[in-house]
Every structure is written in C-alpha cells, then in structure tokens.
Structure 1
Amino acid sequence: MKKRLATLAMALVVSVTAFAQTKTVKAEESTVTWKGYKVTGSHEGTVDLKSGTLKFDGDKLTGGQFTVDMTTIGSTDLEGEYKGKLDGHLKSEDFFGVEKYPNATLKITKVKATGKNSYKVTGDLTIKSTTEPITFDMSVYGSKATATLKIDRSKYDVRYGSGSFFDGLGDKTIYDEFDLVVDLQF
C-alpha cells in the first residue's frame, strides 16, 4: 500500500510539473514601442528587450519577468540632427540616465484571467532603481503575447519638462504618462 501511494504521489508530482513551464521570450523577434506626449504633439520610438520569460501552468499565464536595454532607446519619428538630439536627451540624466541605469525590469507578481486568452497582469516595474507596482492587460495567443502599458514617468524620478514638478512650462510641458506597446514572441 505504501509503495502504491508513493508511486501515485510521484506520478501526480510529475504530471503537475509537466504542465508548469517557463518559456523564454525571443528578444530579437519581440518589439517594445513607446510613445510620449507633450502639449504640442508627441514622439515615438523603440527600445530593445534584453531578455524575458513567461511562466505558464498548462496554457494559462502565471508569471514572468523581463529586462529592457535602456541604452537602445531611440525615436522613430525623427531623422538626422533632431533624432540625434532627442535620442541623446532621452539617454541623459534628464530622462532615463542610461549610463547609470542601463536596464529597466518588470517582474510579474499576479495574473488574473479575464477571458480565454486575456489577463489582468500586475507586476513590479523598476526604472532608474525605483520600483513601483503596475497593472496592465495582456493577451496570449499561441507563441505570441501582446500588452499595452501606461507608465507614469514621474514615479521613477523622470521629471524633465513635467508639469507635476515645474511651473510655467507652458507649451514646453511633457506629460507624465507615456505608452508602451509590447509584442512578444516565445
């Protein structure tokens, strides 16, 4: 009887473990695009995913973590001298300080299914060594996942041009929230 129970317990552990998987995100095939807004318009661009994993129990998302290479942040809506100036400014201490803070990270802490392939995801986002919770929607279809995040940069000490910290900016004001659209391949 003891031998049978031990065999049954081992089979149960193996079958449960077989459904729990960690899948590596293909960073080179995935995209992260951003869009920032100011009184007079907006700018958009990309930043490279350095690494990432998604955790599943069967076909249900349960977790994950990601590292973004902030040194790759760049605009896609400008060219030449103006592109160079904006890209350099985004990398400077005024914005993301990529020399001191070359990576941003996201660690998923909670996942709630909201439909067959959709989830409400909560995680800890770290930018410039400041960690804040963030909640966003994610969809998973086959070997692809998509998410749209709205990030308040002021929570991460990214204050340049922020009306929340500086008075009298007028049409030079840059809004605190920016958008990320993430398309993952795994």
Structure 2
Amino acid sequence: MDINCSYFEVVASSGVPAMHAAVIPPSGQVLFLDKVEDYSELRLPNNHYAYSSLYDPETHSLTPLAVVTNPFCCGGSFLGDGRLVTVGGNAPLLWLDPTVQNGFDAIRYLGNHNGSYCWKEPGNKLASNRWYASAQTLADGRMFVAAGSLNGLDPSNFSNNNPTFEMLDQNGVSNGENTLIDILVDTMPY
C-alpha cells in the first residue's frame, strides 16, 4: 500500500503569541493579535513588547504593531473598505505595560495608511464593555456586535453577562445603543 504523506514546514514565526489571525485584503499579509503579556519575540520602538504583528508570506518578514488598548479576547470583522475592526478586549495591565489602556469598550481599526499597516484607535467606543464579544459584518456594511462579559470575571455570575447587541455603522462607529437579546439571557454565560 502506497501512502502519500504531506508534511508541513515551518518557514517563519508570528512574532507574537497568536490569539487572533486574519488575512488582510488585498495584500495577503497576515495580522496576528494577542493580549498584553511579557513573552513576545517582537519589541516596539519604545522597547515594550509587541502584542500584534503583520507577517508577509512573500518575504517572511514581520512588522511589530502597537496597540493603544488591551485586545485580549476581542471580537472582530472586516469593513467594506477592507479595514479590520476589532471590538472589546480586556482591562489594562499597567504594571506590565503602562502604554496600553483599558480595552473593554475599545474599537480598533487596522488599515493601510500611506503604504504601511498600523492600528488606529481614534477614541470611538462601544456602547458597553465587551470581553469575548462576537462581531459580524452585515450585507449593508454595518457591523453587528453582540454579547460578552462586562468585566472579564466569573462567567457563571449573571451580573457579569452582557446580553445585548449594538450596531456599528459602515465606518465602524457604534450607534451608542445596547439592545437586550433574550436568547443571550437564556443561554448565559455569553
């Protein structure tokens, strides 16, 4: 019996622990995103660890990317213009990195800015805290953001649950309103 086997070959590293990964259109580069922690292979110009990187599969090069807010356990989706939007996250770990702030209600945008990719966080916020939020881009270009925890604590404690959704417009800006969804109450935890 002849069995053809294929083997994977490691050709590069993500540079950061990869909690999230996304292929960025149209470049084909791969975005990696993690949480604030102290064991990344990449450092930023300020000598703090990078929590995000961009990998180029053509050159196997890595670019460290800075974030303003802690993206740990965020949700994400793409806008119609190709930008990646991540929503929510976790509390700051100021003892580890005082440059990265609270991410619970953050909205982050990754796009091509003058030929290079970087995270932009202009201060747009979600209507409420969301740790482990879900996000989905709708056919009309708006983004549906739902569920999560209000604080990242015990998921079996109902007071930590966020059984709501909110809408982001085609530019990834929240409408500022939470709407209760009964199914998220009934199926708690988030």
Q: Which has the higher contact order (CA 8 A, sep 6+)?
A: 1
Structure with more of its chain in helix, by fraction: 1
TM-score after normalising by structure 1: 0.30
Query: Could you say which structure has the larger radius of gyration?
Result: 1
